[in-house]
Amino acid sequence: MNMVWLNVVQLGLVGLLAGEEFIVRYGVQPALHRLPDPAHVAARIALVKRLKVVVPSLMLPALIASVALTVTAGGTTGVAWRIAGSAAFLVFLCFSLFGTVPINITVNDWDPEHPPHDWARVAHRWETIDTYRSAAAIASFILFAISLALQAK
């Protein structure tokens, strides 16, 4: 695969991931808070069940493409932006693997009819972590896009 296609594939994957993160953080999460508690819990469980498939299906290919791009592009134009984009992607992965994923594993097993007494605290903790997580994914996309724009000059 030549460098142009690797850039297109990588930016497309990171962009899809950043878009998904943006919508969940700024679209879905605020909407959940407008629901009555039972509907909020049921919707949160349903989202976890769906997104635990969607997000990893984007995350792993985006990671592979980002590493491949950063390594193969080497010191070409935009290298600092690619390294910064990779660092932001790493931050996103860390917040995911050590923050939201363990919470999602717990939420996945909740009974929507009988949620745990501290479900709102758990949801708030997830949202706090997700604020940083989604910002890192969005930053990664922007940084990689700047790198590509610099290469196109």
- Can you give the pLDDT at residue 9? 95
What tokens does 40 get? 């909020």
Q: Report the Cα 19 to chain-centroid distance in Å.
A: 8
Q: Which residues of the chain have pLDDT under 70?
A: 1
| Closest alpha carbon to 58 in 94, 9, 112, 25 | 9
- Can you give the pLDDT at residue 1? 56
- The total of structural domains in the chain comes to 1
**Nearest 5 degrees, angle CA 4-CA 151-CA 134?**
85
- Can you give the pLDDT at residue 4? 83
Q: How far apart are CA 152 and CA 145, in angstroms?
A: 11
- Can you give the pLDDT at residue 64? 95
Please tell me the number of Cα atoms within 13 Å of 106 on its side-chain side: 13
Long-range Cβ pairs for the range 116-120 (8 Å, 24+): 119/41, 120/37
- Can you give the pLDDT at residue 2? 74
- Can you give the pLDDT at residue 45? 97
Percent of the chain whose predicted confidence (pLDDT) is above 90 = 87
- Can you give the pLDDT at residue 73? 85
| Closest alpha carbon to 92 in 18, 142, 147, 27 | 18
Q: Residue 133 is part of which domain span?
A: 3-152
Q: How far apart are CA 116 and CA 49, in angstroms?
A: 18
